[in-house]
A and B are shown apart, each in its own frame.
Chain A
């Protein structure tokens, strides 16, 4: 975090003097140059981006707190107090979306942490073909979510799908992954992990490669094995990477919509509906006030989880 102080205009950079290779100017002139330079960092540079961001992102976020309390058809709105929220928490279909969203976010981020770490350890070890393996795990990150969703909904079909066909070969009758209310949400979560684990892996690889080799050698000198190396060196020192992976996949998981929408449409029934898919359904049905209330609920949920989590993580990172 930067230290906020209005007087650091002149001391900014605090390098004492001009860079190497240049004769040092007198302190007075140096500070004059700094001051002039400082004025070249014009706050006007914020303006174009600020206008777009303000109008398209900040303004809608703010007014959502008004329209969430209304019955709204985009042209006229009628204040109905807490009715939308009452409906959100009383209707079974809407309430279960809250639980589903949490289950989905926790499952996907948990699996991405574990599998991402595992893959990263394999892919930073001394095995050959590392480059190929890294590329293979990362490519799904770049493929469109809709394409992945459609492909996997075919692969996971109960009768013909190749997943169940392969299971049948070893004598297991696979379930109707996406058609059974008990497995639908978790099947989509698994595909989400398949698509996203490559990103977690490259973040972990970057984290692991930044750990100085000396630590591993120290463990070896002390006679510790691979497990000690993992438990006492890799795991604690890759903690920033773990925090990043958790935060990213939690934010993504809480918002996730496209994969669920293409694979199950929230079904069967509303077994795999998340808040984001409920928002879309209410929007399609023309309940704009209710959809906006869903957005506010999602906003509150994300803020209640992610902001404290981020603060906790950044406080822990200082301890390292």
Chain B
């Protein structure tokens, strides 16, 4: 299989395939992102051409400043909101879902069958939007970040539980038994003994859920309308009409909110891929 054993003709064919594959991937998957960057770095006049060309002037910092200054610094507020939303949702998800997954995996039976069915329904059934608003309103949580946190937690729960359950299945029960002999209660057994062992899957679930919740558009649109509680995805949407003639700022905004997922991607690509495939395949 090594390159030395290939005949020249096959090696040439392989090189051809490689060039073709890389070329196609560059055109299809890289050009749109390069376009975002180029347009974000242009001045207003040049950006309005929407052409794929290098900027002649580079007002990068001016554009950046303007995007953050627009609408009384709405983008900054939105970053704060998105950060609070993402961090609290993910923290709650990790604790609640790992607990459920632990009992679900360890104690099969009628109760767990029902719980399992509910979890699968959560993956499949589309949430009923307006009734959810009604419920949140009754709880005085509509249009608030805590309300949105609960929504994100409820809607990401199924995926996260399945992720944890698959991992917990590989932890031997003898460990639980040893801990129980040593006098552990339910809570100490889980939080002192089991939870630390879940670190790899916890990292995966933190990363995957963070990206999803940070990128979420639909739930903030429905459950936190208005500027005050806007998340970063909504700023884009709100700016769309305002910047319709200022493409450089629109794309600078896109660039700015794409940077957090890009960082996660560059640093932890493998973790995310493993999380999504294992969660998906088990689902």
Contacts and interface: CB of A to CB of B under 8 A. Distances in A.
Nearest to A139: B265
B161 to A, nearest CB: 8
Interface stretch (A86-94, A106-114, A155-163, A180-188): A155-163
A42 B108 contact: no
Interface in A253-306: 254-255, 257-258, 262, 276, 279-280, 283, 288, 291-292, 295-296, 298-299, 302-303, 306
Contacts of B100: 45-46, 49
Contact of A60 (B109, B135, B180, B272): B135
A160 B113 contact: no
B70 interface: no
A126 B18 CA distance: 10
B216 to A, nearest CB: 8
Interface string B147-170: 000110111010001000000000
A151 B126 contact: no
A56 to B, nearest CB: 4
A162 B180 contact: no
A153 to B, nearest CB: 9
Contacts, number: 288
A140 B129 CA distance: 27
Interface in B235-252: 236-237, 240, 247, 250-251
B186 A4 contact: no
B281 A45 contact: no
A69 interface: no
The majority secondary structure among interface residues of chain A is helix
B177 A6 contact: no
A6 B110 contact: yes
B41 interface: no
A235 B154 CA distance: 36
A49 B265 contact: no
Contacts of A244: 280-281, 283
B233 A52 contact: no
B218 interface: yes
Contacts of B22: 129, 132-133
A295 B126 contact: yes
B186 A41 contact: yes
A154 B52 CA distance: 11
A146 B35 contact: no
Contacts of A292: 128-131
Nearest to A298: B126
Contact of B154 (A57, A148, A162): A57
A257 B151 CA distance: 17
Interface stretch (B25-33, B58-66, B72-80): B25-33
A64 interface: yes
A136 B28 CA distance: 9
B109 A202 contact: no
A218 interface: no
Nearest to A57: B154
Interface in A53-99: 53, 55-61, 63-64, 67, 72, 74
Contacts of A177: none
A142 interface: yes
Contacts of B190: 45
Contacts of B49: 160
A200 B60 CA distance: 36
21 contacts: A5-B109, A12-B173, A19-B172, A33-B177, A37-B173, A52-B157, A53-B157, A63-B131, A64-B130, A127-B17, A135-B269, A136-B29, A138-B273, A146-B237, A150-B236, A150-B254, A151-B251, A162-B52, A241-B281, A251-B124, A292-B130
9 interchain residue pairs of minimum CB distance: A19-B174, A64-B128, A56-B154, A60-B131, A144-B215, A49-B96, A41-B107, A60-B132, A2-B108
Given A64-B130, A295-B126, 13 more contacts: A22-B178, A49-B161, A61-B131, A63-B135, A64-B131, A127-B14, A151-B254, A199-B276, A203-B276, A206-B281, A254-B126, A258-B218, A283-B129
